[in-house]
Chain A
Amino acid sequence: GIQVEQSPPDLILQEGANSTLRCNFSDSVNNLQWFHQNPWGQLINLFYIPSGTKQNGRLSATTVATERYSLLYISSSQTTDSGVYFCAVGPRLGANNLFFGTGTRLTVIP
């Protein structure tokens, strides 16, 4: 299956700082999603972004499909942003199942 690599694996930020999370993938994709996993384990949809740029409040994401990477930007981080951020991709051919990276664990300290 398609390989998904996320970096950095761990990130510790002071409240108010900005950060960039990266997702590299090994093949062409039709689907790319960013999720935030909260402390209770639920996956919250952040962005559906197979290509282009989107913004939602303090979060924004960019996917450059031709170069096989996506970036998630978090600005003015808050303690509630803590958790694990996952990138997941759906390959161009085949069923619409997602392949996940191993995540970036973000800790925002006050």
Chain B
Amino acid sequence: DGGITQSPKYLFRKEGQNVTLSCEQNLNHDAMYWYRQDPGQGLRLIYYSQIVNDFQKGDIAEGYSVSREKKESFPLTVTSAQKNPTAFYLCASSILGESAEAFFGQGTRLTVV
């Protein structure tokens, strides 16, 4: 089955802890993205990567970190520096190119308790 897999589906974190969200794709896409969605809002870009070992900040990168050691994987770490981390996180991927269609995973809902 080709697609984008995010795990876990739900995640609870205590304040002050770092947590890592997983995103794996088997579509052979070069580009991968992380978005954040808050209730009643659209998605906002956190980070993106167009090639292994390279990534760029999006509009709301503060308090987040990423790595891209393999083409298939783009994990997102929500650090304790992120002031309001409770949100729905979506990972996407696409081929390279300015007009490439993006496809999304099922999302991870993070709640800070």
Asked whether, in the complex, the Cβ of A96 is within 8 Å of the Cβ of B100, the reply is yes
- Tell me the complex Cα distance, A35–B90, Å: 13
How many chain A residues sit at the interface, stated as a range, is: 20 to 34
With an 8 A cutoff between CB atoms, is A88 at the interface? yes
Of B42, B50, B99, the contact of A30 (CB 8 Å cutoff): B99
Asked whether, in the complex, the Cβ of B43 is within 8 Å of the Cβ of A100, the reply is yes
Interface string of B63-88 (1 = CB under 8 A from A): 00000000000000000000000001
CB distance from A27 to the nearest CB of B (A): 13
With an 8 A cutoff between CB atoms, is B25 at the interface? no
Closest Cβ neighbor of A9 among chain B residues: B40
With an 8 A cutoff between CB atoms, is A7 at the interface? no
Contacting B at CB under 8 A, from A59-110, are 86, 88, 90, 92-103
Chain A residues within 8 Å of B, Cβ to Cβ: 1, 4, 30-31, 33, 35, 40-43, 45, 48, 50, 86, 88, 90, 92-103
